[in-house]
Amino acid sequence: MDNKFLQTLFDNQIVGMVEVDATFQYRNANPHWLDMIGYGLDELRNNNIKSITHPEDLTRQLLLNQQLLNKQNTSYRIDKRYIRKDGTTFWAEVSVTGLYDDDNLTGMVALIIDISKRKATEIHLRESENRFRSLIDRLEHIPVQGYDEDRRVIYWNKASSEIYGYSQTEAIGQKLEDLIIPPHMREEVINLTQRWTNENIPIPSSELTLHDKNGAPVPVYSSHFTHTASSGEKELFCIDIDMRMLQQTEDQVRRLVAAIEQSGETIVITDTKGTIEYVNQAFTDVTGYSREEAIGKNPRILNSGQQDKSVYAEVWGAITKGQPWQGRFINRKKDGSHFTEDVTISPILDTAGKIVNFVAAKRDITEQLQVQEKYQQTQKMEAIGQLAGGVAHDFNNMLAIILGQVEVAMLKMDPNDPMRKRLNEINVAAKRSADLTRHLLGFARKQTHNPEVLNLNETTDSTLTMLNRLIGEQIELKWLPEAGLPVVKIDPGHCNQILTNLIINARDAIIGSGTITVRTKRVTLSQEFCYDHPGCFPGEYVRLAVTDTGCGISSEIIGKIFDPFFTTKDIGEGTGLGLSMVFGLIKQNHGYIIVNSVPNQNTTFKLYFPIHKEPELIQELTEDRTIICGDETILIVEDEISLLDVTKAIISEAGYTILSSDNPLDAIELVRDYDKKIDLLLTDVVMPQMNGPELSNNLRALKPQLKTLFISGYPQNNLQSQNVIVNFLPKPFSANILTQKVRDVLDQ
């Protein structure tokens, strides 16, 4: 075969073909290779293998060529990158054969195939495999392992290390049965994997109890899939679901469901059309509908008709757009009664952001609103009380001036003077006005607790005279006192307040005409009676009974009538504080109360006050116009000038040395400059710049032995805040009472 034929064959190869000498210089190259490399033949001869081989592949190439020189190999194959004339690179598969002469290498012939596309595919596959492995490795709590046909570990992700305790280094190369398979399962696992290897029988998914590095059980649900590697070998991959994690999730779900079930707030879940799919226990408790009655229905079953239809349109418009809605509904229970709820309705979205349900969280605020309303009513009553106190303060100051001036005039007047009768009428009228003020303070609960020994008949008679004007002409008020009634010790203001509440309640219980009967009687409570009525004690009592012919009290509510804020009256007609206040005042005065009622016939409240058995403390109820004299020094401080003058006149008439001031600050300076003894401070309680207790404290720092008597038409809380029992005289007062009280304090 001649050289021309060989050259033709060389030139027409569909692959690159080159010939180099023993120094790796190019001697010849076919057109296909020249097209691949981009050089002309003469240009290529000026280069060698080193100059057109990618630097990263050159070392390996030179090593293989050296082996040809040494005849360690006579041929080799290599994948390498070439550098074209334009500087770009490409992958090629190169098959090299050495040419020898007497065992000496004279050159090499190489066949070159462009494998750039194949390499790109391999790189892509490798990158894909790396991404897949990275993804699998990042799976949390999901162990994934790979095994070869001999059951040796070829892949072990981080979750496998976390769950089973073996690091990747410890696991790779180990056999499956030596790692996580319990001894009693090993034979079965080996048989299953061999059948998969030999017969392509898949391994079924199943629940297994494997074990970790420490031998602790690991319950899993194990799934398997197979893979054939590029080498043709089979690979088995296992994906395990840690059942403990599922159990924890189930526990969390159970706790969540329990929390929803036990929540005090109503929870309602509907589908996207508004059909109820779930309600919690609070829903049934609040609405009266059972789950079976509610599920499958629309929330419209709670519609009370008191909500404007536009509100429902607003709700639906918001939640169907994926927005939560908050507001308040007046709804209707199964029994037809209405209740008020604060409501939050929110859409529930799936992972794709699609609305799949709506959930409503609702809170019944009916009772809260009622309490708020009653509190507001109480605030109004408190405001009325504040107004009453302010009026009483100023009114009592004026009455004290009138009574004082009358008393002073009468003290200096001849007993037979014809003007004495007119002054006495002024005195009586002023005292009746003072009684009205006390009734006003008693009704407003603004009197201090000041128990007195009194005749209950006289106190009741005075109060009923005032209340008779309040009950109306259609209701007859009968007053049946028992004669010779023993005295009791209670606060007269409290007594007035108790009677006022009971009479007004009795009036309100009567529709149309009727009768209210008030009786007093001396009674003895036996031990047996007290056993039946816990809270009272055997002994002698004065009983005050108030009976009305009204609508009565039903057995369902009679046990609640003394609870604060409980009332059967409509909004604006009562606060629900009256009877609870009566109960508290009776207890405060060591009494006891019983109620008996026949619905639609009558109601009787029986009040028991213990008889007072210390006659030496019983106050003289007849009027005494004498004054009690003394010779001590008294400082009088009163910001009302006219009342200051009257008080000075009475005290001076009684023989005392008088110091006075209409200003607390001036009074302090007066005492600081006065070097003699001052025995008593007689001071108003409510004054500008400084109140009475503050003035007393300042003066006692200067005169430690100084005693104090407070006077006031309405002391507010200035005396109670001292947390001590103080000497106090309410305005208005007579000359006898004032001088007697002054004497009592000085003699303490």
Domains of the chain: 3-114 (3.30.450.20), 121-247 (3.30.450.20), 263-364 (3.30.450.20), 456-617 (3.30.565.10), 633-746 (3.40.50.2300)
Rounded average pLDDT over 419-443: 67
Look at 288-292, 329-333, 374-378, 397-401 and tell me which has the smallest mean pLDDT: 374-378
Amino acid 709: pLDDT: 93
Crossing angle between the packed helical segments 735-746 and 641-653, to the nearest 10 degrees: 70
Q: Write down the pLDDT at residue 131.
A: 63
Q: Can you tell me the distance from the alpha carbon of 587 to that of 545, in angstroms, rounded to the nearest whole number?
A: 16
Q: What is the pLDDT of residues 680-691, one digit of tens each?
A: 999 988 888 888
The pLDDT value recorded for residue 573 is 44
Range 558-585 average pLDDT: 58
Residue 452 · residue 619 · CB < 8 Å = yes
Assess whether pLDDT exceeds 70 at residue 434: no
Q: What is the mean pLDDT of residues 54-72?
A: 88
- Three-state DSSP class for 144? strand
With a cut of 60, say whether residue 722 has pLDDT above it: no
Band (620; pLDDT cuts 50, 70, 90): very low
**How far apart are the two ends of the chain, measured CA to CA in Å?**
155
Structure token pair of residue 646 = 């009257």
Q: pLDDT by residue (tens digit) across 128-145?
A: 666 666 656 666 678 888
Q: How far apart are CA 163 and CA 240, in angstroms?
A: 10
Q: Which residue has the higher pLDDT, 632 or 420?
A: 632
514 contacts: CB under 8 Å, gap ≥ 6: 474, 475, 476, 548, 549, 550
Three-class DSSP category at 474: coil
Q: Residue 13 phi/psi, 5° resolution?
A: -65, 140
Beta-strand pair 153-156/206-211: unpaired
pLDDT tens for each residue of 325-353:
998 999 999 998 999 999 999 998 888 88
What's the average model confidence in pLDDT over 491-516? 85
Judge whether residue 415 has pLDDT over 80: no
Confidence of residue 617 (pLDDT cuts 50, 70, 90): very low
Cis peptide before 732 (omega within 30 of 0): yes
Q: What is the model's pLDDT at position 198? A: 83
User: What's the rounded mean pLDDT across residues 543-560?
Assistant: 81
Q: Are 499 and 481 in contact (CB under 8 A)?
A: no
Q: Place 409 in a pLDDT band, splitting at 50, 70 and 90.
A: confident
Q: What is the pLDDT of residue 735?
A: 83
In this predicted structure, what is the pLDDT of residue 499? Answer: 87
Strand 488-490 with 602-610, pairing: unpaired
Residue 503 in tokens: 């009479």
Question: In angstroms, rounded to a whole number, what is the distance separating the alpha carbons of residues 476 and 415?
Answer: 43
Average confidence (pLDDT) over 653-660:
90
Q: What is the model's pLDDT at position 618?
A: 40
Q: Strand 592-598 relative to strand 75-83: parallel, antiparallel, unpaired? A: unpaired
Question: Between these two residues, 75 and 440, which has the higher pLDDT value?
Answer: 75
Least confident of 129-138, 195-204, 439-448: 439-448
Average pLDDT over residues 570-574: 44
Supply the pLDDT for residue 571: 42
Q: Given this model, what pLDDT does residue 5 score?
A: 60
- Across the range 573-593, mean pLDDT stands at 69
Residue 503 has what pLDDT? 87
Which residue do the tokens 């010790």 mark? 489
Q: Which amino acid is located at 542 in the chain?
A: V
Beta strands in 2-55 (DSSP E): 16-21, 26-29
Q: Which helix (H) or strand (E) holds 709?
A: strand 707-712
Number of other residues whose CB lies within 10 A of the CB of residue 679 = 19
Joined together, the tokens standing for residue 139 give 């799976």
Residue 295: the pLDDT is 92
pLDDT at 574: 44
Question: What pLDDT digit, counting tens, does each position of 229-244 carry?
Answer: 766 788 888 888 888 8
Q: Rounded mean pLDDT of the chain?
A: 82
Which has the higher per-residue pLDDT, 375 or 75? 75
What are residue 220's DSSP bridge partners?
208, 242
Across residues 190-195, what is the average pLDDT? 87
pLDDT for 604-613, tens place per residue? 999 999 998 7
pLDDT at 543 over 90: yes
Q: Average pLDDT, stretch 695-703?
A: 91
Going by C-alpha positions, the residue among 376, 266, 285, 271 that lies closest to residue 329 is 266
* Range scoring the smallest mean pLDDT among 24-28, 209-213, 246-250, 467-471: 246-250
Task: Name the band, by pLDDT with cuts 50, 70 and 90, for residue 88.
Answer: very high
- Residue 448: per-residue pLDDT: 54
